[in-house]
Amino acid sequence: MDKNPIGELMQNTMENVKNILKVDTVVGDPIYTPDGITLVPISRISVGFGGGGVEFGDKKGGDVRPYGGGNATGVKIDPIGFLVIKDGTVRMVNVTPPANNTVDRVIELVPQVLDRVDAFIDKQKNK
């Protein structure tokens, strides 16, 4: 089977992205204050990925065709808040402003809605 150059290119890029995006990136290292409060930074990560390629010329009896391709990846890390741990109590302090318009609010609610739908479907399956 022929090797696919675009597949190899994308695989290499995804390996590099995987090295950047670790749990430590989303949930940061704890910060300990002198008065006994622990702060844990929380971030949101967005990743965009795209790529493409083309083989040039006609393939004749085992000849290797020239190949051209490329890909791009964008990573955005936004701090969204801190977990504040004090005397066994944990609370979230947001540092992001509230949604500006209806579309932003709907986008922020999508994960919560999906969680509720999944819980409802699981509940129906268990009946």
**pLDDT value for 70:** 79
- Domain count within the chain: 2
Averaged over successive runs of 10 residues, the pLDDT of the chain (127 residues) comes to 66 78 80 92 84 72 71 84 90 77 74 81 83
**pLDDT value for 1:** 42
Question: 104 and 123: one domain?
Answer: yes
Q: Which domain holds residue 80?
A: 5-96
> Rounded to two decimals, what is the model's pTM?
0.52
Question: 50 and 24: one domain?
Answer: yes
Question: 108 and 83: one domain?
Answer: no
**3-class secondary structure for 41-94?**
EEEEEEEEEEEEEEECCCCCCCCCCCEEEEEEEEEEEEEEEEEEEECCEEEEEE
Question: 17 and 76: one domain?
Answer: yes
